């Protein structure tokens, strides 16, 4: 009997990392559901406007709105996002049907010289596009200078290796997915640099009404990645912060498999003050854990740091 292979159109930003990530989702679909994927390139505001910091051009959604428009218009069947870039509030007509392929959530330091963060010279110029990273870098090294850094991952790595900056700090996930791990000088520990909520995970989004596509994509969902990132993103949401806020969070499943641990941070942009919270709860109640720790952070003065 002949088997019919369904074709789905996957929307992706034109960056090499976005295309690699979309291709990985396509390969999983081909292996698990006999689905063939067609790549559709979509230009986003975040890709087109590179001369200003993300917070100035909208921050929230600048890498995702064009892809969501493509879904609504029927130009694509699904979109692949880096979860940390995806706004927490989702419209009713779209759904994040799978959270998956979460890899190392740490940030890394990249430099042309053999420098670690501790060994970087006083006054060293560190490039980053993130308020979260800036706040934690200045807390660890108040003597360094933070310089704005935009561009795709491979562009940012090249700028560091060419000496445009003394160092840059960037997510390990993107560097490793592009095979650029040799450029990493240091993986930053969580005591120095907590990641963005959802960092290292991919999100697959589709139209809520497209039940056939939803069923095919749902097979990609990873329950552990879903639970941990839900706790982290709920923490951010309950604080009232967006993608550009100086908020960090990391959740992990304990060895017993039934307990979720979460640590969160809200920091002053200049690194002089931070509110840190930790807690745990049932793995099947990640939203409650995120909300509880957000309340604790607010009680500790987090709102003042976000205003």
Annotated catalytic residues are 85
* DSSP letter (8 states) at residue 110: E
Burial class (CB in 10 A: 0-12, 13-18, 19+), 196: buried
Which letter, b or e, does each residue of 146-160 get, where b requires 16 or more Cβ atoms within 10 Å of its Cβ? beebbebbbebbebb
In angstroms, the CA 105 to CA 172 distance is 7
In angstroms, the CA 40 to CA 13 distance is 8
Tokens of 182: 């040799």
Alpha helices in 102-185 (DSSP H): 131-140, 153-161, 172-177
Tokens of 151: 């561009």
Of 262, 288, 255, the residue nearest 276 (C-alpha): 262
Cα distances (Å, whole numbers) of residue 243 to 15, 39, 75, 83: 20, 26, 26, 10
* DSSP letter (8 states) at residue 257: S
In angstroms, the CA 249 to CA 197 distance is 5
In angstroms, the CA 218 to CA 114 distance is 44
Determine contact, residues 108/127, Cβ cutoff 8 Å. Answer: no
In angstroms, the CA 159 to CA 110 distance is 10
């Amino acid at each position: 009997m002949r088997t019919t292979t369904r074709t789905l159109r996957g929307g992706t930003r034109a960056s090499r990392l976005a295309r690699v990530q979309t291709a990985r989702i396509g390969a999983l679909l081909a292996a698990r559901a006999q689905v063939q994927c067609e790549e559709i390139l979509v230009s986003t505001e975040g890709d087109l406007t590179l001369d200003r910091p993300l917070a100035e051009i909208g921050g929230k959604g600048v890498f995702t709105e064009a892809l969501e428009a493509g879904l609504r218009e029927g130009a694509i069947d699904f979109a692949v996002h880096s979860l940390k870039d995806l706004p927490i509030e989702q419209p009713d007509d779209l759904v994040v049907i799978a959270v998956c392929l979460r890899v190392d959530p740490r940030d890394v330091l990249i430099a042309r010289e053999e420098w670690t963060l501790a060994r970087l010279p006083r006054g060293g110029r560190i490039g980053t596009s993130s308020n979260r990273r800036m706040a934690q870098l200045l807390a660890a090294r108040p003597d360094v200078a933070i310089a704005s850094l935009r561009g795709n991952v491979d562009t940012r790595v090249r700028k560091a290796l060419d000496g445009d900056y003394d160092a840059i700090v960037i997510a390990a996930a993107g560097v490793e997915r592009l095979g650029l791990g040799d450029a990493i000088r240091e993986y930053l520990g969580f005591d120095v640099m907590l990641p963005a909520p959802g960092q290292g995970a991919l999100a697959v989004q589709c139209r809520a009404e497209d039940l056939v596509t939803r069923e095919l994509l749902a097979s990609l969902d990873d329950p552990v990645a879903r639970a941990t990132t839900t706790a982290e993103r709920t923490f951010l949401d309950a604080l009232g912060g967006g993608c550009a806020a100086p908020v960090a969070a990391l959740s992990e499943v304990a060895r017993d498999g039934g307990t979720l641990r979460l640590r969160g941070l809200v920091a002053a942009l200049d690194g002089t003050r931070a509110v840190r919270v930790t807690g745990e709860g049932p793995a099947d109640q990640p939203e409650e854990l995120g909300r509880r720790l957000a309340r604790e952070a607010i009680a500790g003065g987090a709102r003042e740091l976000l205003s």
